[in-house]
Structure 1
Amino acid sequence: MAWTTADLDAINQAIATGASKVRFADNREVTYRSLADMRSVRDEIAAFLGLKPAPLCTTYASFGRD
């Protein structure tokens, strides 16, 4: 299947709103069982389109006595 940027937008919108059902550009409607499944498909679409997902940033605090 050829993914489009409209498909990526649709699944991102569903993730952002907490919906589990997505209607893609070709009028297919898919109901996902979990957020993890949706994220996996989103990453697959982004990779197909040659887009890199935003890197995760982790910040660690450290405390010490002088």
Structure 2
Amino acid sequence: MSIQIMWRLFNIGSDIMLLMDNLPEPIRISFDYASKRKTYRIMNGPNEFTVTGTIKDWDVTDQLGR
């Protein structure tokens, strides 16, 4: 599972998931892993819609034709 998918599940789906009595083991492991990592927040910011981290000015669109 990619870090983007984990964070989307964590940020968007966590409200719904928290309503469940027992989280599926793979989801619980993913949440535990993601909650211990700071890389996403440092690079991206608080979420994928508000990029304020170290990649906010990163642009490689001029290299897409290579």
TM-score after normalising by structure 2? 0.33
Greater per-residue helix proportion? 2
TM-score after normalising by structure 1? 0.33
Q: Larger radius of gyration, structure 1 or 2?
A: 1
